[in-house]
Chain A
Amino acid sequence: MKIMKKENRTVLIVDDSILVMERMIPIMEEIDNISFVVHAASYKEGLEVLSRLIPDMVLLDIHLPDKSGIELLRVIQEQHPEIPVLMISNNADQYYRDICKKLGARYFLDKSADVDLIPSVLSAAC
């Protein structure tokens, strides 16, 4: 049985794109202090995971198939305000940035332009 060390961090990614998941897997594997990652493909799945696991960080897309990621951000902030949330979206205009920041998102990255920044943001946040 694996013993959980303090530096072992868990991350929840909520994003409906399998291609993004394929991309995220090697990125997560690169970051040393992340030991476990769960991927949820919808708002519902995200909530289901969150009811059983309190991750050290959440990566959250705005556009989810069933409900907006902004709704999930609100729930997370209500239930676990200590969890840092990194929003990742193709809708990276200022409007969304402002809403997410207001709701408590710690970071906001443009999915198409800032993917390379994810490792450093995660390392800093976790």
Chain B
Amino acid sequence: MNRNGINISEWVASLDAGKPFYLAIINNQGSLTFTNSWFYTRLLSTREFSIHNSFFDLVPQNDQAHFKDTLAACSLQEDPITTNIRINNGLCRWIKWEVSCITRPGQAEKFLCLGYDIADEGQIKRTDEILGLNYRTIVEDMNVGILLQDAEGKIITANQKAAEIFNTTLEELYTGKGLPPLCEAGAADQSVLPFAETPFRKTLRTGAAQTNVVIDVPLPRNRYRTLLSNWQPLFENLQSVPYSVLSTFQDISRERGFERQARGIELQLAEHRLKEQKGTAEAIIKAQEQERTRIGHELHDNINQILACGHLYLDGLNRDTANFQEIKNKTKEILQLAIEEVRVLSKAMVLPDLKKGGLVTSIEDLVSDLRFGDLFEVEFTHSEVSDLEEMAQTKKVTLFRIIQEQTKNIIKYSKAKKVKIALSSGVGQIRLEIKDDGQGFDQENTHRGLGLANIFERTRLYDGNATLSTSPGNGCCVIVIIPFGCPVPVTI
């Protein structure tokens, strides 16, 4: 009959001997066309239902979407699908269903539903008896607040825990003073929820359970209690509008407090990070501006002066004058000087071509320039070149700039006789040390200039660490440590 044939006998054989089973054939609208007597007498011909009802009417509203999804999935596949669905036959019972599509070509979709009770009849009856007899005890002993309200919101039953949670008394709850106002959880102004928006009202309006709703309840002295609540609509017969609502409440103020605290710390951290990033960006912009000013000064005060001087010499250049050759040579010298100055300036400006020569070669070039100046002795040591050159290009440039920056500081302020530069690679990190034997300075009472600030900011960009040790008369030592695997920062 279907793609697989109806294998009811095979399915029944797989059940425990004699276990009663439900059998129904439905179309995709849930209309029933065939049932066995167990289905008919236990589920369909009850006070609430008859053969005119659809199968979907038997399924509680909360489970209907799931069951319809199961049918849709069945029509797309050969094999039956097994699912647990609550069946509402006045008393809810869980039934395990195996659903298969039994559509024949050219006919409307039909589904064969075979099921059995997860808990057998005896267990269900016994549960109902015990629950009925012990309802009050069970409700009172539960460690959650429980309320049963009618459609007008009047409390039909409440337990002691509910009174405790709502900071009131059972008497007050029962005598119709009702619940305290419910507030939107975590709202800054703790505004009271409008009646239409309360979970109670929503449950009645939609007929759907409102689960895990977090609400605040005001307590004296402007304090609030945070509750986790669940609201279950209860229906009479097949009415589509609930006639009462059963709700449960748990005090989660403590947990919420921890959550808020954690969120506060996270916010603080995020703020701190933002501040740091802002500081880095500002430092970079400041450094760029300072560099531009320096280049401007260099061009104006130095190269411009040299060229002006050359201009003057050219003015005096006359073949008839006796010192023609001398002036010509001088002019040449001045032009050569200008070329040299431009070269020095551009070398400082342009990023070193580390790709070509590598970091070590670039530092060696810089060191030989420093030695040429003959201001102090320079010693450069480094570990295995291949280890150092494994570093990302951006990090190499950063280290090079730091060396440039610090040697410039040494030239300007230190009056050092000896400078040591050491570059080494350790476990997962690179270490750079620049040490001089100059006059040092008082860290606390000396303003840290842009040069040093640049060194610290550049290091921090790579999650590195820079330290400065100096005191008057004792030289200065800068140590920079940058991890190998740190993320490459976003260029600002």
Contacts and interface: CB of A to CB of B under 8 A. Distances in A.
A41 interface: yes
A2 B30 CA distance: 10
A45 interface: yes
Contacts of A22: 6-9
Interface string A68-99: 00000000000000000000000000000000
Contacts of A29: 25, 33-34, 110
Given A38-B35, A39-B23, A25 B52 contact: no
B424 interface: no
A18 B52 contact: no
Contacts of B36: 21, 38-41
Interface in A25-55: 25-26, 28-29, 35-41, 45-46, 48-49, 52-53
Nearest to A3: B52
A1 B34 contact: no
A124 interface: no
B31 interface: yes
Contacts of B33: 28-29, 35-37
Nearest to A24: B34
A46 B31 CA distance: 23
A40 B37 contact: yes
Contacts of A35: 33
Given A1-B52, A26-B1, A36-B51, A52 B40 contact: yes
Interface string B109-145: 0100000000000000000000000000000000000
Contacts of B9: 18-19, 22
A48 B31 contact: no
A83 to B, nearest CB: 16
Q: Which of the listed residues B32, B38, B40, B57 has the most CB atoms from chain A within 10 Å of its own CB? A: B40
Nearest to B31: A2
A113 interface: no
A54 to B, nearest CB: 11
Nearest to A11: B34
Contacts of B34: 25, 28-29, 36-39
B18 to A, nearest CB: 11
Interface residues of B, number: 26
B53 interface: yes
B41 interface: yes
Nearest to A53: B45
Contacts of A19: 9
Given A2-B52, A22-B6, A49-B41, A36 B1 contact: no
B12 interface: yes
B40 A38 contact: yes
A38 B36 CA distance: 5
B277 interface: no
Contacts of A49: 37, 40-41, 45
Contacts of A46: 37
Interface string B42-83: 000100000111100100000000000000000000000000
Nearest to B32: A36
Nearest to B1: A26
B51 A45 contact: no
Given A25-B34, A36-B33, A2 B6 contact: no
A30 to B, nearest CB: 10
Contact of B41 (A1, A28, A52): A52
Given A21-B8, A29-B110, A39 B35 contact: yes
Nearest to B45: A52
A39 B37 contact: yes
Contacts of B31: 2
Q: Which of the listed residues A38, A41, A45 has the most CB atoms from chain B within 10 Å of its own CB? A: A38
Q: Which of the listed residues A4, A10, A22 has the most CB atoms from chain B within 10 Å of its own CB? A: A22
A126 B249 CA distance: 57
Contact of A45 (B25, B37, B57): B37
Contacts of B35: 36-39
A37 B41 CA distance: 13
A35 B50 CA distance: 13
Given A18-B12, A22-B6, A41 B37 contact: yes
A26 B5 CA distance: 10
Nearest to B27: A2
B6 A10 contact: no
Contacts of A48: 37, 41
Contacts of B51: 10, 36, 53
Contacts of B41: 45, 48-49, 52
B53 A1 contact: yes
State the 8 A-B residue pairs at the shortest beta-carbon distance, nearest first: A40-B37, A52-B45, A45-B37, A18-B9, A26-B1, A37-B34, A39-B36, A38-B40
25 contacts: A1-B57, A2-B31, A2-B53, A2-B54, A3-B52, A4-B52, A18-B9, A22-B6, A25-B25, A25-B34, A26-B6, A26-B104, A29-B25, A29-B33, A29-B34, A36-B34, A36-B35, A38-B37, A39-B34, A39-B37, A41-B36, A49-B41, A52-B41, A53-B40, A53-B51
Given A2-B31, A26-B6, 8 more contacts: A1-B52, A1-B54, A10-B51, A19-B9, A26-B1, A36-B35, A48-B37, A49-B45
